Structure 1
Amino acid sequence: MCWGNICRSPMAEFVAKKIFADEGLDARVTSAGVSDEEHGGPMDSRAKSVLTSHGYPCSGHNAHQIDESEIMSADLVIAAEPRHLQMMKQMAPDADNLRLIRDYDPNCDPGTSLPDPWFGSTDGFQDTLDAIESAMPGIVDEVRSLA
C-alpha cells in the first residue's frame, strides 16, 4: 500500500510474490494505493527496471485504489508510510490487519516510512528495493503465522 500504486507498493508486491514462492508460501499478494490519481496506470518504468535487474518478474500491473472491502477481506495489509495507515483506518475503522512495512525490519525504528523514490533518480528505487528486501524475512514470518 502506497500513495498511487505505481512505485513502492507494486515493488513490494512483486518482491513478496517471488520470495513467498521461493519459501513455499501459498499466499495471494496484491498492491494498491490510497489515491486514485494513477488508477489504471502502469508501474513506474524505473521501478520495473530495478526489479527486473534483480530477477523479480513484474508484468501485468495496473494501479488501483484500495477501498474498505479490500482492507477488510485481507488477512494483512502492509503500508509504506504511517499516513497511509491513518488513511486506511479512516476507510475501515474496524480493521485490525494494518501494518507498516518497515516495522518488519529489525534495523528500523518503529514507524519508519519506506522511502518514496518518485521524485529522484534510479538510485532511489534501488534504496526502496533494499528496504523492501530487508523487511521480507519479518513479513514471511507473519504470513506463516497466519496460515
Structure 2
Amino acid sequence: MTYRITVVCTGNICRSPMAEWVLRERFDAAGLGDRVVIDSAGTTAWEEGNPADDRTIAAMQRHGHIGDYSGHQARVFDKRWFDDRDLVLAADHGHHTVLRRLAGTDEAKDLVRMIRSFDPAGLKGDALAIDDPWYGDDSSFDQTYAEIIAAADGIVEHVRRHLVE
C-alpha cells in the first residue's frame, strides 16, 4: 500500500514545499519513504509555475538540509485529488476551510487536517495556524520551519499506524 499526502498552503512556494521536503526526509529516515508519497500544492493560482521562494530554500539550508529544491513548481490543489489522497495537510485555517469546501463528501473532508494538529504540544484554535512567512524576514521562515518540525514526527507516527492497520 502506498500512502499519499499533499501539503497545502496559499501559493505553494513557502510553507507547503518546506513541509513536503521535511516530511519526505522524515519518512525516509523512518524507513517508510518507499511507502509514502508526499507532494504539495496551493489554494490559489497566484504563484502557479513558480519555483519555491528563495527564502524557503535558504531556511532549509540553514537548518542543515542539503536537498536539491530547484525542481519545485507551484501548482494549485485539484479537488479530484481527494480520490487518491490519504491525508491533506493544511498550513492555516483558511486553507483548511477551502480544502473542506472543495472536498464535497464527508469522507474527503475527513482527510483534511491542520499540520500543527500533529504537534505533541496539543495546540488548539489559532495556535494551529502556521503564519505565512512571505511578509516577514528570515526569522519568519525559521519560525515556519520550527512549527513544521514540531509536527513532523506526529505525522510520521499517524501514517505508520495507518500503514500497519
TM-score (norm 2): 0.85
* Partner in structure 1 of residue 30 of structure 2: 23
What whole-Å deviation, never above 9, does each CA across 1:71-115 have from its counterpart, x for those lacking one? 331011100012111111111121121100111112252241012
What whole-Å deviation, never above 9, does each CA across 1:38-96 have from its counterpart, x for those lacking one? 00000000000110222321331000000111133101110001211111111112112
* Partner in structure 1 of residue 58 of structure 2: 49
Residue of structure 2 aligned with 1:61, choices 69, 72, 75: 72
**1:14 Cα offset (Å):** 0.3
* Partner in structure 2 of residue 134 of structure 1: 150
2:15 counterpart letter in structure 1: R
* Partner in structure 1 of residue 84 of structure 2: 73
1:22 counterpart letter in structure 2: A
User: What is the distance in 2 between the residues matched to 1:43 and 1:8?
Assistant: 9
Q: Structure 2: give runs of 5+ residues left out of the alignment.
A: 1-7
Q: Larger % of strand: which? A: 2
Q: Does 1:117 align with 2:124?
A: no
Worse-superposed segment, 81-90 or 32-41: 81-90
Q: Structure 1: give runs of 5+ residues left out of the alignment.
A: none
- Per the alignment, do residues 122 and 108 of structure 1 end up closer, same or farther by CA in structure 2, a change over 3 Å counting? farther
CA contact (8 A) 1:102 1:110 kept: no
CA contact (8 A) 2:12 2:41 kept: yes
User: Any idea what SS the aligned residue of 2:73 has?
Assistant: coil
Q: Percent identity?
A: 39
CA contact (8 A) 1:81 1:100 kept: yes
